[in-house]
Amino acid sequence: MKAKRISWKELKNQKFLLICTACFVVYGIIFYYLPLGGWIMAFQNYKTKDGFFDSQWVGFEKFKFLFSDATFLRVIRNTLAMGVLNLVCTFVMAIVFAILLNEVRLAIGKKFVQTVSYLPHFLSWIIVTGILHDALSSSGIINELLVKLGILDTPINFFAHKGYFWPIVAFANVWKETGWNAIVYLAAITSIDPSLYEAATIDGAGRWAKIKNITLPGIRPTIMILLIMNIGNVLNAGFEVQYLLGNGLVKSVSETIDIYTLTWGVSQNDFSLGTAAGIFKSVVAIILIVAANQFAKKTGEQRLF
């Protein structure tokens, strides 16, 4: 990088590495960098028959349309709200689960709970939403329990009420990923110096005190770095569940940016508008991750770059 002289001999010796690099760069340019060139569609009225070169240029018109479209503004709200709700819920649950599981002394019990906890991560969203649909249907277990406990008189259709949609999506994420996300925290807890716990025990500290004063501070760097990595993904957390569980009745709260892109870009064939919505998402994601990183830098926490 820094004006280091590269001799021909060196290059010749590294022939194999250089050939591989060339292949990997070509592959990367085609599949990861070339789509970025497609962003020019957002500034055109792209028609398949005209291609990139002959389509009419429209400047920022597509973006103007987006931000004057009430649906798009609602879609941004939905994406952000569900993204933040999912992030908070899955984050807190994974940490709580890891800490509590770590407190289990019975080795077999711990192993069993942990093995069970990974299971949902390996199931596709199709399966998870199907299972969730069964559990919440009018003849499903949730309605049955609520009626038996006298909380409800008659079963309700959870998927027909707007108020339930966001909590259902958050629950689905927690159900699927808690055990998986806890892996990292459990590893971090294992690396805490055991002598700290021993010293605390001698001082007469109870389990709560040890969790609060040793475990939590011990995994703090891990929590921070994962938080930063996930903040950039807030807008990405909104497609599969919403697409699979959404229906006409809850459309106003279930539609996310990705679904909007799919509807306009693919079903309506307005590639330019779909691309513009996608660009908006990418730009916001980059701003979020850089901001989170800056914030971590200021507060002296671990950071990504």
Q: Does 8 bind other proteins (CB under 8 A)?
A: no
112 binds other proteins (CB under 8 A): yes
Distance of closest approach, residue 146 Cβ to other proteins, in angstroms: 13
Could you give the C-alpha distances from 92 to 97, 114, 171, 178, 181, in angstroms and in order?
8, 17, 12, 9, 10
232 binds other proteins (CB under 8 A): yes
Tokens of 293: 């990183």
Helices (H) then strands (E): counts for the chain: 17, 2
Minimum distance from residue 101 beta carbon to other proteins (Å): 7
Amino acid type, 189 = I
Q: How many angstroms separate the first and last alpha carbons of the chain?
A: 18
Amino acid type, 272: S
Residue 21 CB: number of other CB atoms within 10 A? 11
Does 208 bind other proteins (CB under 8 A)? Our answer is yes
Query: What single-letter amino acid sits at 225?
Result: I
Stretch that binds other proteins, among 53-61, 79-87, 107-115, 291-299 (CB under 8 A): 107-115
Q: What are phi and psi of 44, to 5 degrees?
A: -125, 170
Closest contact distance (angstroms) between CB of 60 and other proteins is 17
Q: Which stretch binds other proteins (CB under 8 A): 58-66, 136-144, 212-220, 292-300?
A: 136-144
Does residue number 204 form part of the binding site for other proteins (CB under 8 A)? yes
For other proteins, which residue of 26, 50, 92, 201 counts as binding (CB under 8 A)? Answer: 201
Stretch in the footprint of other proteins (CB under 8 A) among 73-81, 96-104, 162-170, 293-301: 96-104
Find all residues with CB under 8 Å of 70, minimum gap 6, and list them.
none
Q: How far is the CB of 24 from other proteins (least distance, A)?
A: 5
242 sits near other proteins (criterion: CB under 8 A): no
User: Rule CB under 8 A: is residue 218 a binding residue for other proteins?
Assistant: no
Considering only residues 9 to 48 of the shown chain, the ones binding other proteins according to CB under 8 A are 10-11, 14, 16-18, 20-21, 24-25, 27-28, 30-39, 41
Q: Which of 197, 262, 295, 301 binds other proteins (CB under 8 A)?
A: 262
141-170 binders of other proteins (CB under 8 A): 141, 144, 159
User: What contacts 128, CB < 8 A, 6 or more positions away?
Assistant: 120, 172, 175, 176, 241
Can residue 88 be called a binding residue for other proteins (CB under 8 A)?
no
List of residues 6+ apart from 114 with CB closer than 8 A: 101, 179, 186
Q: Does 183 bind other proteins (CB under 8 A)?
A: yes
Amino acid at 26: V
Assess 92 for contact with other proteins (CB under 8 A).
Answer: no
Query: How many whole angstroms separate alpha carbon 186 and alpha carbon 260?
Result: 38
